[in-house]
Structure 1
Amino acid sequence: MTLSRRSVLRTAAAASVAALPMSQVLAQPKAEFTYKYANNLPVTHPMNLRAKEMAAAILAETKGRVDIQIFPASQLGNDTDMLSQLRAGGIEFFTLSGLILSTLVPGAAITGLGFAFPDYDTVWKALDGDLGAHVRKEIGKAGLVAMDNIWDNGFRQITSSTKPIQTADDLKGFKIRVPVSPMWTSMFKAFDSAPASINFAEVYSALQTKVVDGQENPLAIIDTAKLNEVQKYCSVTNHMWDGFWFLANRRAWDRLPADLRTIVAKHINAAGLKQRTDVAAMNATLQKSLTEKGMVFNNAKADTFRNRLRQAGFYTEWKAKFGDEAWSLLERYSGKLG
């Protein structure tokens, strides 16, 4: 058989590639900036679905220079742990409720004040307006960067394994899980409940073992975390609106060149707006699907809760904590409280 020089060279080249370790053959150029983004929500929640799209868009537009790796479902620790890691630079991005962030930035809790916002229209006017700008400024003082558009966690509802919650009187003595946040504890103490601060990663087991009788969360989280498996009743109270600030470690953020910061912020904020739409669409169908899974729903009498908070001095207490400037910004959207 006669072999040409060209065929010999082709054969030799193929052999040399085959001899290389597979990792070298498939290796891609390493990103200039590889940042971790952590959150506490299930992988199926709209937050993580939109974050996956966001990370892919950032990788593409930066031509592989910025790779954001997503760690959902409290993989890197509970909320308190991840906030500490964010501040130390162990993780570069983290989404956190303003109410939990208030353990570091007290003013961040104002967006979740009990019964402050009657509907989503009011929420977005406030958070995309002057109130949101005020909170982002407060977050900045703590050495963190908050992206412009807060992500949605939804209006919160109360679930129970023992009874439906119809009025404020039904909360007396009720053992309820609340996040690690002073405002939640303060509000449920005003209802004479027995609030227990438990990180989200431990909520399912706390309900399952009856450490607490109930909890409160938006429908999207009740569904994706399968809390309906350990709770029978869901009372529609809309007692608080809650959102997730998309936070960055300032040192990590400042390491990005200005052009990359612009691209990253653009895609994070765009994903946040899409996630808001996703949560609204999900909430529109969740009551029906959770009912089909066995949950029993009732509409609570909101006025009884609001009146109880006024009588207990809850609004007076928190106005003093937030200060006149922040309170004035809140009431610009919520109307008169207290």
Structure 2
Amino acid sequence: MTITRRQILTGATALAATAAFQPAFAARKTVIKLGLDLASDHPTTVNLNAAAAKMKDATKGEVTLQVFPSSQLGNDTHMLSNLRSGAMQMMAIGDNILATLVPSAAIDNIGFAFKSPEMAWGALDGKVGEMVRADIDKAGLHAMPRIWDEGFRQITSSTKQILTPEDLHGFKIRVPPSPISLALFQALGAAATTINIAELYTALQTHVVDGQENPLGNIETQKFYQVQKYCSITNHMWVGYWLLMNGQFWASLPEAHKKVVSDTFDAQALQQRKDNQKLDSSLEAKLKGQGLEFATPDTTPFQKALTQSGFYKTWKDKFGAPLWAALESVTGQLA
């Protein structure tokens, strides 16, 4: 069968007419699955869901952020492995746990370094954060510019109040799978062991460990008050939450989507910090009502014990002079 020039032109005209009523190019859809170990009602999770709604609105549905709290996608160690391999697109992770892969991420976990959350945020929004993010990039991951707030960590126990460094000697305490957390409590003489938070409640309930340390927000949302009796307000370590994306996945995103994702997370970080601190300041009274007994020990002896054990010198050498100097430019001399 012979196709004439007229037929070709007629067909082309029909196709053009049809195309006029169809999108010239289907919009790129970006789906981001984000896992974290915190409960669904924690301020971090709530603000991640708020960020998801804003991204969807800003891109008219082109960017979908799906948030999976309470270790639904695995514990932190498992999620970090999947993030690196590309099996996951994104996760929120405490800097103390991230330090198993990026050692410099633990710089803001130095014992008793910060006097306030605002001091910690200033360090991480400034030179300290810039240096840590550069190291995160080298590990094949991409960090959102602003760190989120997990807060100061406090010590709880089922057996006794922790008032002095001597009270920690031989005390069975859980710490997260974090080298600096383990080192800090070992330096204070505790029998510290690492357990992922998904298994912590059961470990406390069965007395695998007698105590743990976490921000008040985690103590409340994870219901640790049900299996602990005492809480010491030590503020021994500040922990931030990095929002991390697989580096190759980030690089593959359209520039417009990158901007919306980064800008939205950064704006939401400011709200999350406020919400987390608001929760933290309200929780002592609430937890007292739930049976937890509070004490506020003098932390000077704890700091002195860390100095005498060589904790500060060891970690200064590990982090290196430039990063340590950036930290002390905010905190003042630590040891």
Fold agreement, TM-score > 0.5: yes
User: Given residue 288 of structure 1, which amino acid in structure 2 is its aligned partner?
Assistant: A
String of CA shifts for 1:220-250, please: whole Å, max 9, x gaps. 0000000000000000000000010010111
Alignment correspondent of 1:309: 306
Q: Among residues 257, 260, 263, which one is paired with 2:257 in the alignment?
A: 260
Q: What SS does structure 2 have at the residue aligned with 1:40? A: coil
Alignment correspondent of 2:65: 68
- In 2, the alpha carbon distance for the partners of 1:82 and 1:152 equals 20
Q: What SS does structure 2 have at the residue aligned with 1:36? A: strand
Q: Among residues 202, 221, 226, which one is paired with 1:224 in the alignment?
A: 221
Q: What SS does structure 1 have at the residue aligned with 2:236? A: coil
Task: Give 1:321-336 correspondences, 5 Å limit.
Answer: 321-336=318-333
Q: What SS does structure 2 have at the residue aligned with 1:159? A: strand
Alignment correspondent of 2:143: 146
User: How many angstroms does 1:334 deviate by?
Assistant: 1.2
TM-aligned CA distance change 1:50 to 1:31, over 3 Å: farther
**Is the contact between residue 31 and residue 67 of structure 1 (CA under 8 Å) also seen in structure 2?**
no
Alignment correspondent of 1:176: 173
Q: Among residues 121, 134, 147, which one is paired with 1:124 in the alignment?
A: 121
User: Given residue 247 of structure 1, which amino acid in structure 2 is its aligned partner?
Assistant: L
Alignment correspondent of 1:109: 106
Q: Among residues 46, 50, 54, which one is paired with 1:49 in the alignment?
A: 46
**Is the contact between residue 204 and residue 230 of structure 1 (CA under 8 Å) also seen in structure 2?**
yes
Alignment correspondent of 1:12: none
Alignment correspondent of 1:19: none
Task: Give 1:1-338 correspondences, 5 Å limit.
Answer: 32-338=29-335
TM-aligned CA distance change 1:256 to 1:175, over 3 Å: same
User: How many angstroms does 1:121 deviate by?
Assistant: 2.4
- In 1, the alpha carbon distance for the partners of 2:316 and 2:241 equals 22
- In 2, the alpha carbon distance for the partners of 1:215 and 1:147 equals 29
- In 1, the alpha carbon distance for the partners of 2:132 and 2:31 equals 28
- In 2, the alpha carbon distance for the partners of 1:275 and 1:33 equals 24
- In 2, the alpha carbon distance for the partners of 1:194 and 1:314 equals 16
- In 1, the alpha carbon distance for the partners of 2:190 and 2:28 equals 51
User: Given residue 295 of structure 2, which amino acid in structure 1 is its aligned partner?
Assistant: N
- In 2, the alpha carbon distance for the partners of 1:207 and 1:300 equals 23
**Is the contact between residue 177 and residue 214 of structure 1 (CA under 8 Å) also seen in structure 2?**
yes
Alignment correspondent of 2:23: none
Q: What SS does structure 1 have at the residue aligned with 2:161? A: coil
**Identical-pair percentage:** 48
User: Given residue 207 of structure 1, which amino acid in structure 2 is its aligned partner?
Assistant: L
Moved over 4 A (4+): none
Alignment correspondent of 1:25: none
Q: Which runs of 5+ in 1 are unaligned?
A: 1-28
User: How many angstroms does 1:34 deviate by?
Assistant: 1.2
Q: Which runs of 5+ in 2 are unaligned?
A: 1-25
String of CA shifts for 1:59-79, please: whole Å, max 9, x gaps. 111111111111110001110
User: How many angstroms does 1:270 deviate by?
Assistant: 1.3
TM-score when scaled to structure 2? 0.91
User: How many angstroms does 1:31 deviate by?
Assistant: 7.0
User: How many angstroms does 1:325 deviate by?
Assistant: 0.5
Q: What SS does structure 1 have at the residue aligned with 2:327? A: helix
Q: What SS does structure 2 have at the residue aligned with 1:177? A: strand
